[in-house]
Amino acid sequence: MHTLPLTDLSAALAAQGYTPPSYRHAYEQARSARIPATRGSNGRWVFNPADLPVIADRLGLANAV
């Protein structure tokens, strides 16, 4: 499974045409298990880019495209 750091989530969502949330909001949603994200072996939060549609839906983001 290919993962990216949660710090890249806003840019990944923006690249898909979504208005991205702040990092803090995404972090809180990850910590609360409201979006699919996991803690990597280094203790940092990561997400799977394939989950972007699910993440956007759970964050209530509208696709601008």
Q: Give the list of residues 6+ apart from residue 1 with CB closer than 8 angstroms, or none.
A: 48
- The reported pLDDT for the residue numbered 65 is 55
- The reported pLDDT for the residue numbered 21 is 93
Structure tokens at 51: 């989950």
Q: Where are the domains of the chain?
A: 4-58
pLDDT in tens, the chain (65 residues): 699 999 999 999 999 999 999 999 999 999 999 999 999 889 999 999 999 999 999 999 987 65
- Any idea which residue has 């910590």 for tokens? 31
- The reported pLDDT for the residue numbered 44 is 95
